[in-house]
Structures are given as C-alpha cells and as structure tokens.
Structure 1
Amino acid sequence: MARLCEGRVAIVTGAGRGIGREHALSLARQGAKVVVNDLGGAVDGTGGELTPAQSVVDEIIAMGGEAVVNGDNVADFDGAGRMIAQAIDTFGDLHAVINNAGILRDRMLVNMTEEEWDAVINVHLKGTFAPAKHACGYWRDRSKAGEAVSGRIINTSSVSGIYGNPGQTNYGAAKAGIAAFTVISALEMARYGVTVNAVAPVALTRMTEGLSPAPETPEEADLRSPRWIAPIATWLASEESGGVTGRVFEASGEFLAVAEGWVRGPSVSPIEDPEALGPVVETLLSTARKNSGMDGVAGGPPQPQEGN
C-alpha cells in the first residue's frame, strides 16, 4: 500500500529542531522527499549553524528516505527563492511547503523595542510570504501550462495570534497575520490546484519551554510533545487533502480542532451621533460572544488596570 506522501517533494522551514523536525521526519516516513531548512540559530534568531538541519537529514537517510539540507534565510526574498529552486533542481518537482521557521522576542508592549518588533515580524510574516510567493509562482506557471498541480502550503499560526497572549504583541500580531494570509492566499490559489492551510500548535519546544510550567509527569510531557503536531501537517501536505483549504487547525496532544475565524456578531443600524453610542455598544456587547482565552474557550475581555 502506497504511503500518504509517496513520491511527493516537501520543504519544511525551521526543521532542525522541535515541531519542524517532527514535520520533516513524519513526511519522510510517509514517503516524501524533504528539503530540511534551518539556520540553526538561537530562540531569538541570533547565531546559527547547519548541524541541526544536517542531523535531521541524517535521520531521514538512515530510515531509507531522501533529504537535503538548506541553510537559506526564509525572510530573505532571494534566499527563499533559492530554497524553492533547490527542491525542484534536486528532486525534480515541488508539492508542499511547510512554513514553520520562527523566533521569539517576548516583551510587554511598553518595553518592546523597534528591533524586537521588526525581527519577529520579519521572520514569521515575511518568512511565510517569501517561500509561499516563490512556490505559488511555480505552481501557477505549471497550471497555466496545462499541467495538473497538487500544491500545498501549510503555514504555522499560533494560539497566541488567534486568541492572544500578553507579552507577545509582536509574535501574536505576526501569527494572526499568518492566519489571515492563509485565508486570503487560499482564495487566490484555488484556481491553480493549490491549497493553503495553517496549523496553530500547542507543544513544548525550545521556543515555548519558558512560557508555561514544566510538565510534572512523563504522561504530561508526552501530551505536550511536538510529535502531536506533525500528523495534521503531513496529511495537509498530501494529495488526499485537496478538498481542504483556507483553514486553521489547532493541534496538540489533547485535541485536534478547527479554529473558527472572525464572524459578524450582534449588529444594529448605523448611528451617526457618537454621543448616542454608549448604551448601544453596551447592548451589543451584552449579547456578543466573549473573546476566547488562550485555551480557545470564550471568556471575558481583559479589564483595564491602574498602575504601570
């Protein structure tokens, strides 16, 4: 019986460790040829070397698969283009790109520097746009030439972006932007045989280990393992997923869920007088669904607090 991704060619960015590594290994187990991209830097994006990516490639080859290392910076437009070209030149085609690379520069808004904002937005948001732009251009050209296309973009959003987490305005804004990018690019690329989806993972990795209490038992640690994120990403990279596009999936060791997007809530006819809006807004909010907390369950909006 053929494996789920037999003969497909996939790129995984940020694949040297954590969730990206699990994506790459899962794809290889399902028969994909994998380009393992990683700069090998610190959590904040500084430094770097190719050893982590090479280690993943070595694991894939040891299991009988095919893989190569790529060390391009996904936030560099030309570098992203080279990465796409490497996949096509090495393996003869490209079927899936999993945009997973990311960094953290967590800080409360009033303490955040411009550099901390720019660095996170650049890696996450531009680092999603650039590979997707080059890959989608390749698939569009093939489609216009009359070839059958089965292209897949799988982006990485976050519960910090779709629900909101204090101390991560830069990261959350980037991840919310990725969710919107996913929905819109899915609409644009459907005519060319390309699907675009996203995964919002909940897992304990090098990037997230300081954001919540450490697991107290092996069972709890397993529930927070990044291995639980790879199955949905691998399925989305397969030909079988062709009917699914423009969706954000939340994945963890406890559940797999669809993250439902913004919807219009209670409404009234437009009101011209701003002085009349107080009681109207109060009524609207009294019947509106509350914003979700980080657990994805509707809660209450944060209340203003005095002090610094």
Structure 2
Amino acid sequence: MTAGSGICDGRVVIVTGAGRGLGRAHALAFAAEGARVVVNDLGVGLDGSPGPDSPARQVVEEITAAGGEAVAHGGDIATTEGAASLVRTAVDAFGRLDTLVNNAGFLRDRMLVNLDEDDWDAVMRVHLKGHFLPMKHAAAHWRAEAKAGRVPQARIVNTSSGAGLLGSVGQGNYSAAKAGIVGLTLVAAAEMGRYGVQVNAIAPAARTRMTEGTFAETMTAPDSGFDAMAPGNVSPLVVWLGSAASAGVTGRVFETEGGRITVMEGWRPGPSTDKGARWTPAEAGDTALKLLAEAQAPQPVHGAQ
C-alpha cells in the first residue's frame, strides 16, 4: 500500500463487498489516504452462495501491515440487522462515520426468457436492497449528528454500472438493479443534503470476478505498461468523492475506466410538442415519429447485435 496525500486523514470509511476486486481496491486506497476503514464482506461466491470463509480479514491484515487502521465486518448488509451492525461497527471501533461506499454485488446472468424468479430476487436483493439499507442506517446516524449540532461532512458513493445506464443483453436483473441504484442516488442526494450528506454514484469498468469473462485480457496503453482494467484505477475517484475535498458535488453519476473519467448526463427533455388537446392515436403516432426524427439516437445496449 503506497502512502498517499492524506486527503482522508481522520475520516472513517465503510466499504461493502471489500474483500475482493473493486471493494478491496477502494479499501486499500482509502487507508493509504489516511482513512480508518471498515471492511465489509460476507465472503460469498460469485453467485451469492456461501463461501468457506470471508476475505475481509485478509484485507484488514493488508491495511494494518502497511500501518493503517481497519476492522472487518462479515454481516449481511441486505438485512436490517446487518446494515445496522455495519454502522455500529464503525462508530464502536472508531467513534464516528464519515463515508459509506456501497459496492457489494454478484451476478446471475440469463437471457430474460431463461431468467428464474430466484435469480431476479437474489440480484435485486444484494445490489438494490444492499445499497438501500446501509444508506438508511448511515443517514439515520448522520441525521442524529446534525440534530445534535454536529453537522457532518458525510459522503456516500454508490456503485452503478454501464449496464444500469444503457442496459446489457443477458443481464436484465443486473441492469434493472443498477438503474435502480442511480434513481436511489438521486433521491438520497436530494433528501440527505440537509444533514450534511453528499451522495454520488460511479459506473466503473474494471477486471473483477464479475467481469473476468469480459475483461479477460490485460489492456495496456502502448509502451506504458498501464493496465487499464485494473480495479485500482477506479479507486482514486471514489476516494475523492468520499473525502471532504468533494464539497458541493452531489447527485451526480461518473463513468470511470482506466484513465478516463466521464460525467454522465441523465434523462433530459428532448424534442417536444403540445397540441393543447387530446391526440388521436394516428396523430400521436405521426407526431412521435416527427419528434424521434429530431431527437438524438440512443446509445446502443451493451451486447446488442
């Protein structure tokens, strides 16, 4: 772990799903910048089934071996008790909570006609409910702090995906959950600002267990040795969003991949017309076609032919 600039000195940060991949990279990056970290990981397989042991302790040991401070949390953050204990762990161990990074997730990919109800429910549970419940309990803590006159400089960083922004063939459940996270981020940013909380989301692309089939090969910039798909490339933006330095940035979505950062611009009104009266179906169709001819073409769904 390389020492950083100390942008997060004194802050206490929770990272969910931090035993591997992006979450591990985020936890190590926050610790390198001076944060004390709660490393959450249930230690499950890629499909959400129980694993033999949790890797959270290994990440904690990496952080402490490098001179940082961290504790492990193995609770299920998609349950009320697990999410509540996650926040309690931060406060009990370090006396405060400043940043929550929601990252935990897994895949159960199927084409829609082959997608079982259990596969839908499981992915919705870990991604969408697993964002909602930690946010709810962290926000309750920060609201109490604000009401006690200790308005925090609190930060939440949620994890969406390009699949949530554009859709992805074979990932209807995952795409819907990740789109839901964007909507949840916008609402949370609007509701929690009064308590000193900023809420943003990232849509990362990196090589992890979830994407190893997509990014199996190392992508390097010519003559630089830069691995564009390394999970650690995403973490600097997450650390900045999770720090006090990001003051004033809330309700935004960033796409990040390799050395590129993009501010994503969501739904905005396009071409429009108002008849001032009810349309007939034929009129509505003709009008819709004219408006579509004036509108920008949508970005293609990932994996579409």
Superposed counterparts of 1:163-182, under 5 Å: 163-182=166-185
Residue 150 of structure 1: aligned partner: 153
- Are the aligned partners of 1:50 and 1:71 in contact in 2 as well (CA < 8 Å)? no
Q: Aligned to 2:44, which of 41, 45, 48?
A: 41
Q: In structure 2, do the counterparts of structure 1 residues 128 and 216 end up closer, same or farther at CA, with 3 Å as the change threshold?
A: closer
Residue 194 of structure 1: aligned partner: 197
- Helix, strand or coil for the counterpart of 1:249? strand
- Are the aligned partners of 1:38 and 1:50 in contact in 2 as well (CA < 8 Å)? no
Residue 238 of structure 2: aligned partner: 233
Instruction: Tell me the TM-score normalized by structure 2.
Output: 0.93
Q: In structure 2, do the counterparts of structure 1 residues 93 and 213 end up closer, same or farther at CA, with 3 Å as the change threshold?
A: closer
1:213 Cα deviation (Å)? 5.5
- Are the aligned partners of 2:42 and 2:54 in contact in 1 as well (CA < 8 Å)? no
For 1:264 and 1:25, the matched residues in 2 are separated by: 41
1:177 Cα deviation (Å)? 0.5
- Counting aligned pairs with the same residue, the percent is 51
Superposed counterparts of 1:191-270, under 5 Å: 191-210=194-213, 212=214, 214-215=216-217, 219=221, 222-270=227-275
1:217 Cα deviation (Å)? 5.6
Deviations 1:100-127 (A, max 9, x none): 0001001111110000000000100000
For 2:131 and 2:205, the matched residues in 1 are separated by: 19
- Helix, strand or coil for the counterpart of 1:223? coil
Detail structure 1 runs of 4+ shifted over 6 Å in the superposition: none
Give the aligned residue type for 1:251. T
For 1:218 and 1:262, the matched residues in 2 are separated by: 33
For 1:132 and 1:61, the matched residues in 2 are separated by: 27
- Are the aligned partners of 1:45 and 1:103 in contact in 2 as well (CA < 8 Å)? yes
Q: How many residues end up aligned between the 2 structures?
A: 296
Deviates more, 1:115-124 or 1:279-288: 279-288
- Helix, strand or coil for the counterpart of 2:39? strand
Q: In structure 2, do the counterparts of structure 1 residues 49 and 5 end up closer, same or farther at CA, with 3 Å as the change threshold?
A: farther
Residue 280 of structure 2: aligned partner: 273
1:272 Cα deviation (Å)? 2.7
Gaps of 5+ in 2: none
Superposed counterparts of 1:27-66, under 5 Å: 27-66=30-69
Gaps of 5+ in 1: 296-301, 304-308
Residue 96 of structure 2: aligned partner: 93
Give the aligned residue type for 1:242. A
1:49 Cα deviation (Å)? 4.4
For 1:4 and 1:216, the matched residues in 2 are separated by: 30
Deviations 1:10-48 (A, max 9, x none): 000000000000000000000000000001111111112
Give the aligned residue type for 1:264. P
1:145 Cα deviation (Å)? 1.3
- Helix, strand or coil for the counterpart of 2:55? helix
1:258 Cα deviation (Å)? 0.6
Q: Aligned to 1:291, which of 273, 277, 298?
A: 298
- Helix, strand or coil for the counterpart of 2:227? helix
1:221 Cα deviation (Å)? 7.7
Residue 122 of structure 2: aligned partner: 119
1:178 Cα deviation (Å)? 0.3
